[in-house]
């Protein structure tokens, strides 16, 4: 986790520099207590009865950056901005997949977009394994659009939102929204007031 935190910090600095900003542009949002977590993920294919199948449905990551190490099984797909077709993200040996999260989309006013992605179910009798590291600001940090050059600003259409997925500038709110989206029945039963306060509506993308 320490290694991945260093890698994520270097990437964050490189992204800021690529936008024509100081490398430390985003440092204040991460100082003292950056929010990160890792997941070991195992997908299983159809069982002998053809009943159990596991993938993950379309979603966007609600943090800042995701670093993903995937095995050779394949199945990861993304939908580029303003496109309707899915594209494969093939495994590359000794390489990480880097995904833009919603907080980075907020910070760049939509110049960098958090892509919707999914994982297709595995073939019968096979598995897929991956390791995901989610790098995000402090829970109380609020991301505001950074100053972009006129050339970049011309390609920054704003944040991509739907009535079912508001993108919230304070990371703690956006993270809570993400958890609620993953567990809608629990959220509706025990936290209906928070659902209303975060402007989260029922339904799917």
Helices (H) and strands (E) counted in the chain, each on its own, are 7, 8
Sign of the C-alpha dihedral computed for residues 100, 102, 106 and 110 taken in this order: positive
- Kindly list the averaged pLDDT for each block of 10 residues, start to end, along the chain of length 205: 96 98 97 95 76 72 96 94 92 95 96 94 87 97 95 94 81 89 81 73 46
CB proximity list for 33: less than 8 A, separation 6 or greater: 138, 139
Assigned token pair, 34: 């950056």
Residue 183 has a pLDDT of 77
Residue 204 has a pLDDT of 40
Residue 17 has a pLDDT of 98
pTM of the model: 0.87
Residue 55 has a pLDDT of 64
Residue 124 has a pLDDT of 82
The three-state secondary structure class of 191 is coil
Closest CA to 56 of 126, 130, 157: 130
């Amino acid at each position: 986790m320490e290694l991945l935190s260093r890698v994520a910090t270097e990437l964050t600095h490189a992204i800021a520099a690529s936008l024509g900003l100081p490398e430390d542009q985003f440092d204040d949002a991460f100082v003292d207590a950056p929010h990160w977590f890792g997941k070991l993920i195992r997908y299983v294919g159809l069982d002998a009865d053809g009943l159990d199948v596991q993938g993950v449905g379309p979603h966007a990551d609600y943090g800042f950056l995701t670093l993903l190490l995937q095995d050779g099984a394949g199945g990861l797909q993304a939908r580029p901005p303003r496109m309707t077709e899915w594209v494969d993200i093939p495994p590359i040996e000794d390489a990480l997949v880097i995904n833009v999260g919603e907080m980075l989309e907020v910070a760049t006013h939509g110049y960098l977009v958090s892509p919707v992605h999914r994982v297709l179910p595995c073939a019968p009798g096979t598995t897929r394994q991956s390791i995901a590291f989610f790098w995000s600001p402090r829970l109380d940090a609020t991301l505001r659009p950074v100053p972009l050059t006129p050339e970049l600003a011309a390609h920054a259409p704003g944040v991509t939102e739907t009535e079912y997925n508001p993108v919230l500038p304070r990371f703690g709110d956006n993270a809570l929204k993400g958890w609620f989206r993953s567990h809608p029945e629990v959220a509706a039963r025990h936290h209906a007031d928070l659902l209303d306060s975060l402007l989260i509506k029922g339904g799917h993308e």
